[in-house]
Amino acid sequence: MAQRAHLIVGGFPYGATAGHDMDYARIELVGKLYQAGYVTTCGNDFADMGSALAGVDLLLTYVAGPYPDERQCHAIESWLEEGGRWFALHGTSGGRAVRVEGSRQRRMARLAHHDLLGAFFLNHPPVRRFDVAVAAPEHPLLAGLPPTFNVADELYFVEPCGNASVLLTTELAEDPSPPGFGFLYDKDAYLAANGPTRALGLERRVGVGRVAYVALGHCHSPRTNSQPFVDESVAADGGTPRTFRGAWTTAPFQRILENALRWGSGD
């Protein structure tokens, strides 16, 4: 019997791109699922998770805004406990931002789905180049990867939660964001008190199932770009590339995606 997957790709509000080329990500992920032999259903958000996950082996998410509410989290958690596998990318660690009194900036709210996912997004500086280190080379999601690889991407500051184990890391001592950029947060997301190591990939066991999260994967097109500028390591003049594919164009990220589909089938 063919493996089944449910793919969620979308922004908030419904149908919005939320600064990402959702169509590109959707086409790339559907294509890989098809090539891997999955029968796939698709959604834009986490609606009707109980029905959507019935008989499904792998949940794959690439979102910027949509997140599961407590009832939907319960449905996902029950499915995971029975052996389901959830592979989450990029903005899945985000969710709802709240206004901060006396500031034009907002702060991310930690919600039930962050504890379920094992990752809570705090902020990211402007798109930049950085090295990614493989922290768990024995893990099937990371099979065939070099010890380190370089990408241009949004470097997510992610707080591990829910007893998640670390798969990927990067080094950045301080947040280089200019004043007023991004979201406010109280404490930076170093893995140790003295920094500067940060988690970029995590996995949690839930019952006999698992959920894995990889922070990489920003992409935009001229019609969906919301980046005001990028780091000089990406463009010498700091101008935002009109079309940006970042990690998607690298062999290590493509390998992670391919590994994830094998991992999703229980291999």
Q: Which amino acid is located at 60 in the chain?
A: L
Burial class (CB in 10 A: 0-12, 13-18, 19+), 52: buried
Determine contact, residues 216/251, Cβ cutoff 8 Å: no
- CATH number, domain of 58, equals 3.40.50.880
Domain tally, the chain: 1
Burial class (CB in 10 A: 0-12, 13-18, 19+), 21: buried
Residue-level pLDDT at 195: 86
- Domain of 114 in residue numbering reads as 4-264
Number of other CB atoms surrounding residue 202 within 10 Å:
26
Q: Which residues pair with 220 in a beta bridge?
A: 244
Residue-level pLDDT at 267: 67
Q: Where are the beta strands (DSSP E) in the chain?
A: 4-11, 39-43, 58-64, 85-89, 97-99, 106-108, 119-123, 128-134, 148-153, 157-160, 165-171, 197-206, 209-214
φ and ψ at 123, to 5 degrees? -175, 170
Q: pLDDT below 70 — which residues of the chain?
A: 267
Integer Cα distance of 28 and 257 in angstroms: 10
Residue-level pLDDT at 202: 98
3-state secondary structure labels for all residues of 7-21: EEEEECCCCCCCCCC
Determine contact, residues 80/209, Cβ cutoff 8 Å: yes
Integer Cα distance of 154 and 35 in angstroms: 28
